[in-house]
Amino acid sequence: MKKNIFFIFSLIMSLTTLQAQGFKISFNETTHDFGVIEEKGGKVSFDFIVTNEGNEPLVISNVKASCGCTTPSWTQSPIEPGKTGKITATYNPQGRPGRFNKSITVTTNASPAPYTLYIKGEVNRPDANPETTYPVRQGNLLYKRTPDLDFGNVTPDGTKKITIEAYNQSGTAFTPSPVGLPPYITVTGNIPPQKAGNLEFTLNAPLIKKYGKVGGSFTLTADAPIGISYKADIQDNYDNLTADQKKNAGKINVNAQPLVFSKKVNTQVLKVANSGKSDLHVKAIQTSTPDITFSKSVFVVKSREIVEVKVTYPVQKLKTVDNQAVISIFSDDPKNPQKDINVTVNP
């Protein structure tokens, strides 16, 4: 016990002595990022500037790097109050492709504990055979995989990003100038010649202004030989509802049989019922056939209520065969947010 008290007392006295002596130093940076450097470009160096802000001479007694790839040098003579010295960190990228993060330990007479500085960056090694790493070709761009975009489920007010790595095999920088890109998708990126880089695709769901599946394709340039396909499913997300909220939510029920149209019958009634305990909010009614119209597409169905929607398929536009026609109802029923009803046409 006495030894512990003596140790603490000695530590307090030593810190008090240092403070009384006025030791205080600062650095221009404590972490330096070299960014991307070329492996064949040779060694890179950075000077950490040390300022003696105290009133006693500052002595840097030792500087040690965390690995042999980093060589430090430093001001050997005492740094007078108000003056500066430097610690130079030199990094050798040869044989070290990829990211690096190295520490440099600095020992001085200013504190019993050493100071720690850092250097970091990324070493680029040009690939002699990029086709091996990027086997999928589209013009001058090479990909690790087919660059199709599957955004998956996205909420109507949400956004989602997909980043795809590509290698630019041409002699000029590549900047996308897409053709056929829908207004709700943006693409950014700039890939230097003979290097890899990223293209970022962002889907902005509020600009779609509808629920359900969307999809298509576009090209990154006018002369691109192959299009990039995209798809997404715009749906509300009810995963955060509690078990009680799901149990007490509205529950949608609709016609079990397909709606049948003919030249004599071009209007049908779609019945939407709510067998749940809360109001059911129908947020949209959409169809794969734009000629079909609805008397209403956004409404509320009270518990145990049935709401009728008139569905019209104009006589002059009826097709004798239309097996692809589907009506989709989107509601806040967490178990069945999308209900589909088939449409058939009789000759």
Overall pTM surpassing 0.85 (yes/no): no
d(CA 159, CA 157): 7
Q: Which residues contact 301 (CB under 8 A, 6 or more apart)?
A: 250, 252, 272, 273, 274, 279, 280, 282, 307
Report pLDDT digits (tens) over 54-83.
899 999 999 999 988 999 999 999 999 999
- Give 290's pLDDT tier (boundaries 50, 70, 90): confident
| pLDDT 10s digits, 13-48 | 333 333 435 678 899 999 999 999 988 889 999 999
d(CA 35, CA 139): 29
Which residues are registered as beta bridge partners of 120?
A: 33, 101
Instruction: Find the mean pLDDT for residues 266-286.
Output: 95
